[in-house]
Amino acid sequence: MSFSDKKRVVIKVGSALIAPNNTGCSPHNLLAIAQFIVKCRQLGKQVVLVSSGSVAAGKKWFDAPEMSKTLKKAMAATGQTSMMKLWDRLFDFPTAQLLLTNDDLSHRERYISIKDTLEACLEHGVMPVVNENDTVTSDDRKVGDNDNLSAMVATSIGADTLILCTDVAGLYDKNPHSHDDAKLIKTVDKITSSTYLMATGAVSSTGTGGMRTKIEAAEKATSHGIDTYILDAFNGKNFELLLDNSNPGTHFVAFNKPVSSAIHWRTHTSKARGEVIVDEADMELGDIQDTLTSSSLLAINGEFSVGDTIMVKNDSGKKLAKAKTNYSSCLLNYLADKDIRDKLDDNSSLLTDSIISDEHIAVLGTQ
């Protein structure tokens, strides 16, 4: 499917484009992006913008030698208004602001609420502008970068295209900044460990992401049937190429048979609150939900409550599944003691019932 056939586009714009050199918001690098968004809407495409830049935009108002976590939150709160004003000046249609945390996306009901809000905005011609809520979230509650956030947003609304804007032409086989013979990878049909090895790990001076986070985002998006592009947004001609159905950077090809929305959410969006280590030898091949009882328990890591998402691993560290737990970590720690289990009646539900729910189990044993 060419870009002209796409109906719903998510475009992620980073801090370096919005607030270059941490000197506040500037429209200089955004005009081509704004024109592209306007053209997409004229062609009948719905667009969601995921915009970084609040911290970089607000930094100029704070004179401090070191940037503490609290100060960074204050910068985000200050810069967010400037960033939204900038985007509003570039468009003649209404925009809506959505500030999200990983907790919002990991909680199933809140995730559905976010999806419904985005859908309602798009249905009424309003363009959502999404950013991570850096003003309130703690480190353990963050998505961490807007590349992955954009992929989560794209999958939530069933987008068919994700565009990740950056300052390089796309994914290279090696770091183009330090290797003159680096070659641009135009098409990636399948993301593997070798794909990640091509990422340099370099991070922008103003942003939080690098090439690795863009590959992570592409992996999330393509598995949900979303074609993903990494392109150099400092070169406005790249957007013209995309509109002409040409590949302006690196194209990550969408799966022909996407993962279901519920399983995708459990795999890529829901955050594991803890780990359950099990004896894989005790588990039969087939439905993991039917075979994972307390008799397989070896250890419990972390604290979690009934209904939280947990990671199930074997004793060698291999990830077997992500699933909704039927028991708290406190009770599972109790049941992990074989002496305790031996004292229970053989017909006790604590021995016979599955540790995990059958709701949206993400089986990971092959990864």
Q: How many helices (H) and strands (E) does the chain have?
A: 15, 13
Collapsed DSSP state (helix, strand, coil) of residue 298: strand
Annotated domain spans of the chain: 3-265, 272-363
pLDDT band at 208 (very low <50, low <70, confident <90, very high): very low
* 160 against 26, higher pLDDT: 160
- Are 146 and 210 spatial neighbours (Cβ–Cβ below 8 Å)? no
**Going along 235-347, which residue ranges are E strands?**
250-252, 275-278, 297-301, 309-314, 319-324
Q: Which residues contact 222 (CB under 8 A, 6 or more apart)?
A: 191, 228, 252, 253, 254, 255
- Residue written as token pair 């017909």: 347
Q: Regarding the domain with residue range 272-363, which homologous superfamily does it belong to in the CATH classification?
A: PUA domain (2.30.130.10)
- pLDDT tens for 330-354 read 999 999 888 888 888 888 888 888 8
Amino acid at 89: R
CA pair distance 106, 87, nearest whole angstrom? 28
pLDDT for position 198: 87
pLDDT for position 1: 61
pLDDT for position 246: 95
Collapsed DSSP state (helix, strand, coil) of residue 133: coil
* Top-confidence range, 99-108, 226-235, 269-278: 226-235
pLDDT band at 240 (very low <50, low <70, confident <90, very high): very high
* 273 against 204, higher pLDDT: 273
CATH architecture assigned to 3-265: 3-Layer(aba) Sandwich (3.40)
* 171 against 205, higher pLDDT: 171
pLDDT for position 257: 87
pLDDT for position 139: 62
CA pair distance 89, 26, nearest whole angstrom? 11
The answer, yes or no, to whether residue 366 has pLDDT greater than 60, is no
- Are 232 and 17 spatial neighbours (Cβ–Cβ below 8 Å)? no
pLDDT for position 281: 65
List residues bridging with 237 in a β-sheet. Answer: none
CB atoms inside a 10 Å sphere around CB 102: 21
Local structure of residue 241 (DSSP, 8 states): H
List residues bridging with 230 in a β-sheet. Answer: 164, 250
Residues 175-181 have a mean pLDDT of: 83
- Mean pLDDT taken over the chain: 88
pLDDT for position 236: 93
pLDDT for position 314: 87
- Which secondary-structure segment (H or E) carries 99? strand 95-100
The answer, yes or no, to whether residue 173 has pLDDT greater than 70, is yes
**For residue 195, which phi and psi values (nearest 5 degrees)?**
-65, -45
pLDDT band at 207 (very low <50, low <70, confident <90, very high): very low
pLDDT band at 249 (very low <50, low <70, confident <90, very high): very high
The answer, yes or no, to whether residue 68 has pLDDT greater than 60, is yes
N- to C-terminal Cα separation, the chain: 28
State percent of the chain over pLDDT 70: 92
CA pair distance 83, 66, nearest whole angstrom? 23
Half-sphere exposure of 328 (CA within 13 A, CB side): 5
Amino acid at 205: S
- pLDDT tens for 123-157 read 999 999 999 988 877 665 667 789 999 999 999 99
The answer, yes or no, to whether residue 19 has pLDDT greater than 70, is yes
Q: Which two tokens stand for residue 346?
A: 């053989």
The answer, yes or no, to whether residue 285 has pLDDT greater than 50, is no
Residues 171-189 have a mean pLDDT of: 89
pLDDT for position 46: 98
